């Protein structure tokens, strides 16, 4: 679809908005519906749209396979590292009180933010990998 | 004037419209008719979700409708690309 | 009370038609389009049931990514279903029996939105709904048992679904993420073509 | 004051319903793909805009929650105004390249 100017321009207009919306869904997941999984899917949808209109090789130029593979692993590592951090600082595994020892209650939003970003990163990169490998 | 009843009636009208379009999606002679019907149903789903938010009196959940507007576009482009080029990448 | 029942009945009738059409179609491409429509309608049903997180997931995954997945599958396997006209009687019998058992089981399900249902009245969900879940660990990491001053957390995040998923069941969510990660690994190992 | 919002919103929803239904009927009744596209694309966007303005008026009643809802309604309209015509254009172009023939009246050339 590289030859269709209208689609190219519309994609260029939409792409940043979809990305920001995906980040909003991830980050705002503790106040409104949303979270890592949904937000990751939206971010993946932005890259998939780019890959559909500009063809997959162009998409792989802005997000090479090596980068998406690395980020996919990094998402899981962020989650596990958040747990390990609380373990190492004397709390139980994945106990968010570790993130704010002075006020054990308010650690939850922090832990949630970190974890949601990890989940979102993994989900987005797996979906992009799916598009990369299935599109043929 | 009862706005709640008005919203509910509008929701029923939207569902009626969806059912008419669904007929075209199932019957549709060409693939393009089906894709068009899908696109139209996606837009009507945006409407329906927004209306449901106002019917239940909690309109703060319009993120979903916003997401639909985005996803509908992506899905339509994906299906069109498949029909036109027989590949996705 | 009756308003969302009305919308539910109408939407579920449409959903049934859509599902039957998606199964009955021989053209797999048309089936994919119908399934995408199904996903849109399903998300409306979730939204009508006030389960906004599920609606968001259905919209993001069902209509967006799974359409891509199904189209990719059609690319790999071809778009015509193998004609199979004969009715497989044992299978029909089994499906009918299971369907009847499921219908029988729904008779005991709690009413929609029933505050006395087990899901709504258990101690944990009450805690999350009332937003005063005991944070069970003190600084030393011990269980501090039932309600005591200072171990209660009165202002956890407002979306209790996220609170349950990421705080109460954080361990579970971690391994869900690992499952998705393994799915990605499988994609890379099985489908990636080696380019020189 | 509330009367004004009620009546205007009702009128807009009613008009939107009419446009939406006429579009759906057109999608069923028209003879070929291009005229169906014509019926669906235009009526859909117009119906969406009418509905959203009607709901925007209603959202004034909800205070701050209504404000966030109103912002999202405007965003939805903006998104749809970008995406819907583009999707329609891509559809018609794909159908034309795939040689879907426009419908012609019997025996004439128009």
Write the pLDDT tens digit of every residue in A25-54. Answer: 998 887 788 888 999 999 999 999 999 999
Q: How confident is the model at residue C170 (pLDDT cuts 50, 70, 90)?
A: confident
Residue C181 lies in a domain: no
**Cα separation, D12 vs D47, whole angstroms:** 9
Is there a contact between A31 and A111 (Cβ–Cβ < 8 Å)?
no
Q: Which pLDDT does position C133 carry in this prediction?
A: 42
Q: Which pLDDT does position C148 carry in this prediction?
A: 39
Strands, DSSP E only, in A19-96?
none
Domain count, chain B: 1
- For residue D100, give the DSSP letter: P
Q: Average of pLDDT values for D53-70? A: 86
**Cα separation, B69 vs B46, whole angstroms:** 7
Domain that includes residue D81, residue range:
2-97
Tokens of D95: 């159908």
- Give the bridge partners for D9, in sequence order: none
Domain that includes residue B68, residue range:
3-85
User: Are the beta carbons of D76 and B66 separated by less than 8 Å?
Assistant: yes
**Cα separation, A78 vs D76, whole angstroms:** 34
Residue C131 lies in a domain: no
Domain count, chain C: 1
Judging contacts by C-beta atoms under 8 Å, the chain D residues touching residue A16 are none
Q: What is the CATH number of the domain that holds C70?
A: 1.20.120.1200
Burial label, D93 (beta-carbon count in 10 A; 0-12, 13-18, 19+): middle
Q: Which pLDDT does position C129 carry in this prediction?
A: 65
Domain that includes residue C56, residue range:
1-80
Tell me the backbone φ, ψ of residue C134, rounded to 5 degrees: -65, 125
**Cα separation, B75 vs B63, whole angstroms:** 18
Q: How confident is the model at residue B1 (pLDDT cuts 50, 70, 90)?
A: low
Q: Of A14, A45, A135, which is closest to B89 when you measure between CB atoms?
A: A135
Instruction: Assess whether pLDDT exceeds 80 at residue C132.
Output: no
- Give the bridge partners for C27, in sequence order: C80
**B42 lies within 8 A of chain D by CB:** no
C53-89 per-position pLDDT tens digit: 899 988 888 888 889 889 988 888 877 777 777 788 8
User: Are the beta carbons of B79 and C67 separated by less than 8 Å?
Assistant: yes
B-contacting residues in D 65-84 (Cβ below 8 Å):
65-66, 68-69, 72-73, 75-76, 79-80, 83-84
Q: How confident is the model at residue D75 (pLDDT cuts 50, 70, 90)?
A: very high
Instruction: Assess whether pLDDT exceeds 60 at residue C155.
Output: no
Tokens of A127: 């979906």
Is there a contact between B78 and C68 (Cβ–Cβ < 8 Å)?
yes
Cα of A91 to nearest chain D Cα, Å: 38
Residue D55 lies in a domain: yes
**D72 lies within 8 A of chain A by CB:** no
**Cα separation, C156 vs C128, whole angstroms:** 9
A-contacting residues in B 34-73 (Cβ below 8 Å):
60-61, 63-64, 66-67, 70-71, 73
Nearest chain D alpha carbon to B61: D69
Is there a contact between C183 and C175 (Cβ–Cβ < 8 Å)?
no
Is there a contact between A82 and A118 (Cβ–Cβ < 8 Å)?
yes
**Chains C, B in contact, 3 or more Cβ pairs below 8 Å:** yes
With H, G, I as helix, E, B as strand and everything else as coil, classify residue A52: helix
**Other residues' Cβ atoms within 10 Å of the Cβ of residue C87:** 7
Ramachandran quadrant class, D84 (left: phi over 0; alpha: psi -120 to 50; beta: rest): alpha
- For residue A83, give the DSSP letter: H
Is there a contact between C45 and C6 (Cβ–Cβ < 8 Å)?
no
**Higher pLDDT pick, A10 / B86:** A10
**Other residues' Cβ atoms within 10 Å of the Cβ of residue A101:** 12
Q: Which pLDDT does position C24 carry in this prediction?
A: 87
Q: Which pLDDT does position C127 carry in this prediction?
A: 65
Alpha helices in chain C (DSSP H): 2-24, 28-48, 52-57, 66-77, 89-106, 118-121, 123-130, 160-163, 170-191
Q: How confident is the model at residue D25 (pLDDT cuts 50, 70, 90)?
A: very high
Tokens of D41: 């694309």
Domain that includes residue A25, residue range:
5-134
Residue C12 lies in a domain: yes
Residue C183 lies in a domain: no
Q: How confident is the model at residue D2 (pLDDT cuts 50, 70, 90)?
A: low
Domain count, chain D: 1
Instruction: Assess whether pLDDT exceeds 70 at residue C130.
Output: no
**Other residues' Cβ atoms within 10 Å of the Cβ of residue B54:** 26
Interface probe for B, chosen from D59, D95, D103 (most Cβ of B below 10 Å), is D95
**Cα separation, B25 vs C32, whole angstroms:** 11
**Chains C, D in contact, 3 or more Cβ pairs below 8 Å:** no
Q: Of B10, B51, B59, which is closest to D62 when you measure between CB atoms?
A: B59
Q: How confident is the model at residue D110 (pLDDT cuts 50, 70, 90)?
A: low
Q: What is the pLDDT along chain A (136 residues), one digit of tens a residue?
A: 788 899 999 999 999 999 999 999 998 887 788 888 999 999 999 999 999 999 889 999 999 999 999 999 999 999 999 889 888 888 888 877 777 777 766 777 788 888 889 999 999 999 999 998 887 6
Domain count, chain A: 1
**A7 lies within 8 A of chain D by CB:** yes
Tokens of C74: 């059609």
HSE-up of C66 (CA within 13 Å, CB side)? 17
Cα of A69 to nearest chain B Cα, Å: 18
């Amino acid at each position: 679809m590289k030859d269709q100017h209208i689609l190219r321009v519309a994609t260029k207009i939409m792409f940043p908005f979809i990305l920001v919306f995906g980040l909003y869904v991830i980050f705002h997941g503790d106040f409104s519906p949303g979270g890592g999984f949904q937000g990751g899917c939206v971010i993946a949808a932005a890259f998939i749209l780019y890959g559909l209109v500009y063809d997959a090789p162009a998409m792989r130029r802005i997000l090479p396979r090596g980068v998406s593979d690395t980020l996919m692993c990094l998402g899981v590592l962020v989650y596990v590292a958040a747990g390990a951090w609380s373990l190492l600082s004397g709390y139980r595994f994945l106990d968010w009180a570790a993130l704010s020892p002075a006020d054990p209650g308010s650690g939850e939003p922090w832990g949630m933010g970190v974890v949601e970003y990890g989940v979102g990163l993994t989900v987005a990169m797996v979906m992009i990998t799916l598009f990369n490998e299935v599109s043929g | 004037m009862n706005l709640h009843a008005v919203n509910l009636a509008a929701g029923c009208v939207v569902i009626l419209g969806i059912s008419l379009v669904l007929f075209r999606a199932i019957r549709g002679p060409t693939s393009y008719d089906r894709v068009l019907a899908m696109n139209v149903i996606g837009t009507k789903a945006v409407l329906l979700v927004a209306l449901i938010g106002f019917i239940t009196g909690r309109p703060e959940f319009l993120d979903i409708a916003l997401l639909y507007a985005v996803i509908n576009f992506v899905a339509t482009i994906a299906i069109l690309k498949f029909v036109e080029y027989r590949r996705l990448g | 009370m009756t308003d969302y029942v009305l919308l539910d009945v109408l939407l579920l009738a449409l959903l049934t038609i859509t599902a039957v059409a998606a199964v009955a179609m021989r053209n797999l491409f048309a089936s994919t389009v119908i399934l995408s429509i199904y996903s849109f309608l399903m998300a409306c049903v979730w939204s009508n049931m006030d389960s906004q997180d599920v609606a968001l997931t259905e919209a993001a995954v069902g209509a967006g990514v799974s359409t891509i997945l199904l189209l990719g599958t059609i690319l790999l396997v071809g778009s015509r279903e193998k004609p199979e006209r004969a009715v497989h009687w044992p299978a029909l019998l089994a499906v009918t029996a299971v369907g009847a058992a499921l219908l029988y089981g729904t008779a005991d399900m709690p009413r929609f939105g029933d505050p006395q249902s087990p899901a709504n009245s258990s101690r944990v969900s009450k805690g999350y709904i009332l937003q005063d879940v005991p944070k069970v660990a003190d600084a030393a990491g011990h269980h501090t048992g039932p309600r005591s001053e200072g171990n209660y957390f009165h202002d956890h995040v407002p979306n209790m679904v996220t609170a349950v998923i990421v705080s109460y069941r954080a361990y579970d969510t971690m391994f869900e993420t690992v499952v998705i990660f393994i799915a990605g690994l499988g994609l890379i190992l099985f489908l990636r073509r080696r380019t020189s | 004051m509330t009367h004004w919002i009620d009546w205007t919103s009702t009128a807009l929803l009613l008009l939107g319903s009419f446009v939406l239904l006429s579009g759906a009927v057109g999608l069923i009744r028209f003879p070929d793909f291009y005229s169906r596209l014509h019926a669906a694309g235009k009526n859909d966007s117009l119906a969406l805009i009418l509905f959203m303005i009607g709901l925007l008026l209603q959202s004034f009643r909800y205070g701050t929650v209504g404000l966030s809802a109103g912002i999202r309604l405007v965003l939805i309209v903006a998104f749809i105004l970008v995406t819907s015509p583009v999707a329609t254009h891509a559809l018609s172009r794909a159908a034309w390249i795939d040689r879907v023939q426009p419908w012609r009246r019997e025996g004439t050339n128009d």
